Chain A
């Protein structure tokens, strides 16, 4: 099953390696990963989306809690938390189809943040469904580059 795991950690070097090691050591691939400081500069929040066997994930969550630098671990079920992701996508565009792409962006409330002769860069925030719908529609124009923050999550 898919899980969003949110880990509050002390802002010390090596913490991310300790956390990711618990996944990689069990042959788990981390689907998305985001790390940034919180409002308290001594703490950071790590948000990881992982897919895998529930009992193994339960074990990883317990092991995470044992790490000395880990403060708090939450394993969110789908409805317990709000989650968002931010993406930047560079799309091929010509004078002919630019209007069409902009229109599509407006429908999704994506922002165009850079435009050149042959391409444009759009910024979009949303949950997983919205992002994948947008990417599905924009794909036909030709995605040149895609960067994503990975999911961020917070308990309702």
Chain B
């Protein structure tokens, strides 16, 4: 006799004879065993077997249907970035798979743990230019941490375990599992594995006490030390260790955009983030320091500018889990290979035993002076400026929201005028710089963190690139908000046109160029995002008057479902400070 609860959730074993299951059932069972609760999946001919298997396990795993595979994969990234758990997306062969490509490359650049499962044509058709066939394994090679083409159904349990382990261990990244339809259909008795061995050199290593004691000694001797940390601190969940480290040493601390929030930006020793459009004080501190402690960052060109003149007076320590990052962009004095949470935590322990805190008072005074004199700022206008809208959002959410962004000016302003006090709060495409990332990433983040307020701060250009995901938000009841800073232009490119190309507009106007919309020409605004949102069945509002801004943002925040707020702003603002590409801090345009 079985009770209701027993029959409601048939275990896979019970549903099959003698423990035999189809390959597609094995894949879904493997996902459940990996603890996957949500998957972003768009079906098609070569993946419908997998969706049939998902339909059988509805109670164990939620399937979110995006409206474009790219949206689904960006959502998986947003999910991973917000939660730290691997994001999982699925698509069919051919165009379904190729639509995942941008997000896979994006996850690779931003070290985001992701497992992308794709259907493939029957193995007998592989290489025959069959309908919806592409060599997805070959196509993704340069942008994956690893990939599998499954040609034997018995290998599925092992491959799925490996995929998740590889995606999440060490420096995280995307893993592709490409599964031909006949493998999905084949029957097998799965041999589940608890753990899969990875070669020891693929697993994280830990710094020696000798190396770390040397760093502590360098700190004791420093006169003008600074910390530069990146996304590695987020991946390793090392924010507590970092905060303790900063407080123990008293060293001012600047992040990359990937690292934002792992040290509270509201802390007096925070220099927020630095680089091309980062804080003037952060850039000056790094440029003038005599000891630069780099934790989990990679000396990206948007951080360094002219790398030969980056931190020219500093002795540089670089602690990173990935040895290939050492001396890749910048030759450093002290490369240390280590898992970063361990390294910072161990230095805290060593300092607790013995540490002569350096007297760096004049340096701290200098840094605080820069902070006071050159904060992120804007000149007020009669119109709503994008900076003001973000600052208002920051005030109304008390800095507690998860913010995602598209790519461009709005992305920089979002990071400048929202202060992040917690890790995993700024979700943005930073390495690849993929427009269209913001809204689907917000959808994914909201699925991962349903109790948090999640807002996509977007540009009108970026938002339009994955606008179809409004349907996902509506139908799946995902209350991800979008605040569009609508300037009717591709603002960042316009800024470069203004500064470097004599303001010649090369396809950077999004509406009718003979009737350009603006706060002063509302009739020219194109398209009408409020009407579009209504078409998707979602509440929306347009705001163009400063006195209505606060109320409009509050209405968005109060909405129980997804909401689109169209904020009309002038296109004439430039993101400052700015260090032109390939230049140095000396050439920074501050005002």
Contacts and interface: CB of A to CB of B under 8 A. Distances in A.
Interface in B315-336: 322-324, 326-328
Given A66-B322, A68-B146, A71-B199, A18 B141 contact: yes
A51 interface: no
Interface string A110-139: 000000000000000000000000000000
Given A21-B142, A71-B199, A59 B147 contact: no
A25 B142 CA distance: 8
B324 A62 contact: yes
B499 interface: no
**Majority SS of interface residues in chain A?**
helix
Contacts of B146: 67-68
A141 to B, nearest CB: 43
A27 interface: no
Given A21-B142, A71-B199, A62 B323 contact: yes
A63 B141 contact: no
Contacts of B142: 21, 25
A58 interface: yes
A14 B141 contact: yes
Interface string A10-37: 0001100110010001000000000000
A17 B199 contact: no
A68 B324 contact: no
A21 B324 contact: no
Nearest to A13: B149
Interface string B195-207: 0001101100000
Given A14-B147, A62-B324, 9 more contacts: A13-B149, A14-B141, A17-B141, A21-B141, A62-B326, A62-B328, A65-B201, A67-B146, A68-B146
Contact of B138 (A17, A59, A62): A17
A62 B145 CA distance: 14
B166 interface: yes
A68 B141 contact: no
Contacts of A66: 202, 322, 324
B169 to A, nearest CB: 11
Nearest to B151: A13
Contacts of A17: 138, 141
Contacts of A25: 142
Contacts of B201: 65
Interface string B127-161: 00000000001100110011101000000000000
Q: How many B residues are at the interface, by size bracket?
A: 10 to 19
A68 B323 contact: no
Q: How many A residues are at the interface, by size bracket?
A: 10 to 19
Interface of A: 13-14, 17-18, 21, 25, 55, 58-59, 62-63, 65-68, 71
B324 A59 contact: yes
B151 to A, nearest CB: 9
A19 B423 CA distance: 35
Contacts of B327: 55, 58
9 contacts: A17-B138, A55-B327, A58-B327, A62-B324, A65-B201, A66-B322, A68-B145, A68-B146, A71-B199
Contact of B137 (A14, A55, A65, A67): A14
A43 to B, nearest CB: 12
Contacts of B198: 68
Contacts of A13: 149
Given A25-B142, A66-B202, A68-B166, A14 B324 contact: no
A59 B202 contact: no
Q: Which one of A25, A55, A66 has the highest number of Cβ atoms from chain B below 10 Å of its Cβ?
A: A66
Q: Which one of B147, B198, B323, B324 has the highest number of Cβ atoms from chain A below 10 Å of its Cβ?
A: B324
B225 to A, nearest CB: 28
B557 to A, nearest CB: 43
A58 B145 CA distance: 19
Q: Which one of B146, B166, B322 has the highest number of Cβ atoms from chain A below 10 Å of its Cβ?
A: B146
Contacts of A21: 141-142
Contact of B328 (A14, A59, A67, A68): A59
The 3 tightest CB contacts between A and B, nearest first, are A62-B324, A68-B146, A63-B324
A68 B145 CA distance: 8
A17 B139 CA distance: 11
A21 B137 CA distance: 13
A8 B129 CA distance: 33
Q: Which one of B137, B141, B149, B326 has the highest number of Cβ atoms from chain A below 10 Å of its Cβ?
A: B141
A66 B147 CA distance: 13
B126 to A, nearest CB: 12
Nearest to A10: B199
A59 B201 CA distance: 16
Contacts of B141: 14, 17-18, 21
Q: Which one of B137, B145, B328 has the highest number of Cβ atoms from chain A below 10 Å of its Cβ?
A: B328
Contacts of B145: 68
Interface in B163-212: 166, 198-199, 201-202
A68 B202 contact: yes
A10 to B, nearest CB: 9
A68 B170 CA distance: 12
B368 to A, nearest CB: 39
